[in-house]
Amino acid sequence: MKTYHQRPAEVQRDWYVVDATDQVLGRLATQIATLLRGKHKPTYTPSIDGGDFVIVINCEKIRITGKKADQKIYYRHTGYPGGLKATPYKMMLAKHPDRILRNAVKGMLPKNRMGRHLLTKLRIYAGPRHPHAAQQPKVWSPR
């Protein structure tokens, strides 16, 4: 029996809407990463981008557990000497709630060209509205 290897021309892409209201950050991010990679499909091939597009709404209502709301800090570097910037979780949630989920999903994707490409298929919106109604997205309910 031969191992199935999906070809890029055979990929069926769907659009999914995920509501992040009262979802735990890490558990939601793993499911989004699975959808982006296509691991939920029987035709999954690790070297091929066979995943779907994901639209996340209400990311400002995402939930985290424990003391992370007080202790979690996001770091980034400007590229200049001494340019390390630290942003606490509460400030990040107030200013850029979409970056919280994007960073969590990015950490769960491969650290190569394909991982960067997969991240372009993720659309995150702070509120309940999104401009992708023409794609007729299906509702994905996290397990």
Q: Give the three-state DSSP class for 123.
A: strand
> Does domain 14-140 bear CATH number 3.90.780.10?
no
β-strands 84-88, 73-77 pairing? antiparallel
The values of phi and psi at residue 136, to 5°, are: 50, 60
Q: What is the pLDDT of residues 57-67, one digit of tens each?
A: 999 999 999 99
Statement: the pTM of the whole predicted model exceeds 0.95: no
The DSSP output letter for 27 is H
Measured distance CA(34)–CA(52) in Å, rounded: 9
pLDDT digit string, tens, across residues 103-138:
999 999 999 999 999 999 999 999 999 999 999 999
Q: Which of 3-12, 79-88, 130-139 has the lowest mean pLDDT?
A: 3-12
Q: What is the dihedral of CA 54, 103, 109, 115, to 10 degrees?
A: 80
**Structural domain boundaries in the chain:** 14-140
- What number of H helices and E strands is found in the chain? 5, 6
